[in-house]
Structure 1
Amino acid sequence: MTAALPVAAPRLRAARRAKTAALLALAVVSLLLALIGPLIAPHTIDTPVTAPFASPGDGAVLGGDQLGRDVLSRVLHGGALLIMGALLVAITVTLTATVLGCIAVLRPALGRVLERSADMAILLPPLLGIMLIALAWPGGGRWAVIAAAIALGTPYAVRVVAAAASPLATAGYVEAALARGESTLYVALREILPNLRATVLTLFGLRFVEAVYVISMAGFLQIGPQPPASDWSLMVRENASGILLNPWAVIAPSIAIALLAITVNLVTVSLAPDTAKAATRR
């Protein structure tokens, strides 16, 4: 029984690597389709090609929307802005939270301020926060939603990084660096951050998925992009009234949002253990 364990372990690792590679490939394909979709779309986003809410046919593979525009073309056009917005939110939140979280464990006073800010951000319902920031933002629109997602996501992310970095603040190599007179920023980025790669990677993936949902939810509430823009969440809201006539007008963008979020989340979870192992080899 024990002799089989050394043989089974490499097989399990190989199976996990194969699963991660498959998920990564699916995520890359999803992202590429969303980014290059406008180049391969058969029609423009505002050209009626069939009757309103027409069923799938020769002129429109997925049928028509409420104005008779090609659903497939609008789906292929609708992902680029969502992905770019989610990436901007995820990158900004992750970088800011990583730096502040690492510094917070070395400066307890700053840590307490950030902890109180995170408490207030967590207590504020996300939907209410998005609406308040979007209404206060001049002109509203997509940039207001992105700003709301960054403002609401950063305090909680800082708390996550600080919690992961807290045990490292008392490590011998960190105390030695502080005793040498190294700056707080140097110690945070040089001594603590390399051991948080798994946490940072997971945080980035979760922030990206959350940003996808936040931006999509804002589109449902008419806070984000406005017609005639082609956006997956906007398509769901615009075509909900005709779901019984052409369900693909709602199903297709909904599947696109779910596929993007799920694949990125699964890839992040799959890569995190490998990153954690690499982080321990300093």
Structure 2
Amino acid sequence: MYIFLSHLSACDLVISTNVTPNALQIILLGKVPMSFLSCITQLYFVGATLIMECFLLAVMSYDRYLAICCPLHYSSIMNLNLPHYLVLGTWLVGFGQSLITNSFILNTQFCSSNIINHFFCDLGPVLQLSCSDTIAVQIEVSTFVTVTVLSQVLFIIVTYVCIFKAILHISSVTGREKVFSTCSSHLTVVCIYYGSLIILYVSPSKANSFNLNKILSLLNSVVTPLFNPIVYSLRNKEIGAALKKIKFLKICHDKYF
């Protein structure tokens, strides 16, 4: 679990450092000049990290399924090598698929406005600036999102149905609460992340308003990376004990000083 969480944190770090500085500059200054190469590079890393996070969330649901539904076989299935192979596959798929999408965009002509009505270079606003036919990249992105993301959602639903069935067979209430608490943080992030991603990228240049596009993009690229460490850290006993210690020390400081 900690291997997957560390790579999830790496994805959050990449997308946050890629998007947040631009978003803050636009909020403070109103606009940010950016070269075409910088925009394409930003778009590449945004796409890669979004794809990687999707696969990591699906892999983490499989890890929870093995730990809860197949505890006796967990160590033999999820051995020292399999987590690293799964993580390596997510990084390769993320950067590979984003490279394919960017290759389509590089073959697109941009001959009208060069002003992007967004906080960063996202797929939909970039396609809006094109004066050539973008049907190829729209089909490629929509097909990938529809097939891959929806299949991952279905996979996560199946794993959690099995997990909930296993939880119901646990006799003690304390045991059920303990097992459910290990999945609640992951399930919360999955619902927020996949819901906004499907709405945003299944039809990247159609009727979605710019305001809705901005909100959903910021939700995936800024809010979720900020939300992930909070959700997962609060489930950690050591961090909870450290927070209680800090609160106790603050109370003592206020009382005596």
TM range (shorter): 0.3 to 0.5
Over alpha carbons, which structure has the higher Rg? Answer: 1
TM-score w.r.t. length of structure 2 = 0.32
Structure showing the higher helix proportion among its residues: 2
